[in-house]
Amino acid sequence: MPEGDAIFRAARTLHRALAGSRVTRFESVFPALTRVDQDRPLADRTVESVASRGKHLLMTFSGDLILRTHMRMHGSWHIYRPGERWQRPARDMRILVATGDFVAVAFNVPIAEFLTAREMSRQLQALGPDLLADGFDSADVRQRMRTRPDEAIADVLLNQRIVAGIGNVFKSEILFIAGVDPFRTVARLSEEELARIIDTARTALRANVLTRSQTLSPALGRRTTRSLNPREPLWVYGRGGKPCLKCGAPISAKKTGLDARLTYWCPRCQKSG
């Protein structure tokens, strides 16, 4: 599932390609979007901006119209030049927004809707602070976490109403870097530990939205270890049974929650406390 860093990068790429340009063509397989386009045509509107909010991608058009998409497990946005061959089959296309210079295509996106700015504000007001936002408020997140005292910190990090942008990969990586057992409840965590988890989360996500020139690194893809070794991009996620990169102990893995998502951790480095 795309996490906050991936949505941020997608929004940044789309913004650079589309912002300020006039829409020449719009298509969608979603009847609700098509009806809006028929009543309030997208053609000749200007793409004002493309931004992310947690795991939501927001494409704003002139005339108070915003396209909200959520990728879920398999959705993605691609950018092409007019006439360029798509990397995915046409049957996977869900939304197409074309300008004179680029064609933006959403593949396998399951959730999409048009909203006004007022509707958007109401739609997203329940979201927690976005880890990648400039005005991120760590104290607010700590307060929100404290409202879930009996829940495991791993589950709390996935709650988008607490903090927006963390998915299953970063959940395990953040808690490893912070040295916190994923199954400790919030009530058993000190203020210092909660602050460390939140700071680690923000640092990890921000590091993964830097451009190659900013990192001065040739490495591509999500990384949390800061190692240039292509075989060691992550500390624990997906490494069940393999030796911990820090202490050598076998990495543990366990399915938890209603969605039976895998959590990875090192029992030696992340003591239960």
Residue 70 corresponds to which tokens in the numbers above?
């959520």
Residue of 27, 41, 55, 173 with catalytic role: 55
Judge whether 171 counts as a catalytic residue: no
Task: Compute how many other C-beta atoms are within 10 angstroms of the C-beta atom of residue 199.
Answer: 13
Sign of CA dihedral 217, 209, 198, 257: negative
Task: Compute how many other C-beta atoms are within 10 angstroms of the C-beta atom of residue 34.
Answer: 13
111 φ/ψ angles, rounded to the nearest 5 degrees: -125, 125
CA separation for the pair 49, 24 (Å, rounded): 16
Judge whether 55 counts as a catalytic residue: yes
Q: How far from chain centre, in Å, is Cα 229?
A: 24
Residue of 2, 129, 182, 233 with catalytic role: 2
Judge whether 3 counts as a catalytic residue: yes
Sign of CA dihedral 232, 236, 248, 204: positive
Residues with Cβ within 8 Å of 48's Cβ and at least 6 positions away in sequence, in order, are: 19, 20, 60, 61, 62
- Which residues are catalytically annotated? 2-3, 55
